Amino acid sequence: MIPIIYLENKIKEIDGRPYYPIDVAKVNDQVVRMALVRGDYHWHQHTNEDELFYVIRGRMTIQMKSPYSNITLSAGEMTVIPKGVEHCPTSKEDTYILMFEPYALQSKGD
């Protein structure tokens, strides 16, 4: 059977844990992950992969170092951070996002 995925159930599975991504669906060698953004993550970059952020609920800023400018996303908006760009997701309110990234990429918050 092909499952239907209910994103509201995935939000409940996160259980209020910021920066603790959970797998929503695997697509070939990629994965769709969901996470709660609350406060600052940490500055980092991905050497070999781009990272797509899609906001389902809330509002977040992806801080980036020069020559890039910060990007603020609201529900229904998305962006792709190119590989090698140092960035730091942050939010003043609880924000739920989907991230599309290689399945092998494993990252968890502190």
51-74: pLDDT as tens digits: 999 999 999 999 999 999 999 999
Here the contacts of 40-43 (C-beta below 8 Å, separation 24 or greater) are 40/88, 40/89, 40/90, 41/88, 41/89, 41/90, 41/109, 42/88, 42/109, 42/110, 43/86, 43/87, 43/88
pLDDT at 38 over 90: yes
Q: pLDDT digit string (tens) for 88-98?
A: 999 999 999 99
Q: For the whole model, what pTM was predicted?
A: 0.89
